[in-house]
Amino acid sequence: MTASRTALAACLLAAASAVYAQGAPPPDRVIGYRQSVFGLIGWNFGGLGDMVRERRPWDAAEFTRRAERVAQLSQMTDEGFPPGSDTGAATDAKPEIWTNRADFDAKMDDFRREAAALAAAARGGDQDAIKAQFSKTGGTCKACHDEYKAD
C-alpha cells in the first residue's frame, strides 16, 4: 500500500470510529451509506447490462471485474438498513422494509446469491451462461425494487 493510500485508510478509519464511538450512526449517515452502495452496484450492473444488450462491445475482462464488484458490494447492503434508518434524509426505501423484514431479508439473500453466481459465471467465460445469470441477478433486483423501493 502506498503512503497516500495508507494515510487515506487511516483517515477513513478514524472518521468511522468517531461515528460509531457515539453509538449507532444517525439515520442520515446510514441512508447516505446505503445510497452509495446501491449507486456503485447500479454503476457496475449498468455496464454489465450495456454489454449484455450489445450497446457496447463485449469485454470479458471488464465484465468479470464489474460482476465481481457487484458480488462484493452485495455483501455490504445489510448494513444500510438498520432499524430507525427509514427516516431522515430523502430515501426511496419504503417503510415495508422494516415491517416485512423477513421477506426483505430473503430478497436481499437472493440478490447476494445470484450476484455471486454472476461473478462465477463471468469467470467461467461462457457468454450464454453469463447472459442467463445476468437476467437472474437482475430479476432479484426487480423483485426487491417492486416491493421495497419507491421510484
CATH of the domain at 98: 1.20.120.10
Q: Is residue 66 part of a domain?
A: yes
Give the whole-angstrom CA distance, residue 125 versus residue 123.
5
Mean pLDDT of 45-73: 98
Model confidence pLDDT, tens digit, residues 83-141: 888 877 688 999 999 999 999 999 999 999 999 999 999 999 999 999 999 999 999 99
Residue 3 lies in a domain: no
Answer whether residue 12 shows pLDDT above 50: no
Residue 19 lies in a domain: no
Task: Domain count for the chain, please give it.
Answer: 1
Question: First CA to last CA across the chain, in angstroms?
Answer: 40
Domain containing 49: what range? 26-148
Whether residue 17 is contained in a domain is answered as no
Q: How many CB atoms lie within 10 A of CB 20?
A: 10
Q: How confident is the model at residue 8 (pLDDT cuts 50, 70, 90)?
A: very low
* C-alpha closest to that of 118 among 56, 74, 71: 71
Could you tell me what percentage of the chain is helix, strand and coil, using 3-state DSSP and rounding each to the nearest 5?
A: 75, 0, 25
What is the arithmetic mean of pLDDT over 24-50? 95
136-145 tens-digit pLDDT: 999 999 999 9
Quick check: 121 and 84 in contact, CB under 8 A? Answer: no
Is residue 120 a part of any domain in this protein? yes
Helices marked H in the chain — which ranges?
Answer: 3-21, 27-52, 60-74, 96-99, 101-124, 127-148
Query: Is 144 part of a structural domain of the chain?
Result: yes
Nearest to 138 by CA among 118, 123, 119, 124: 118
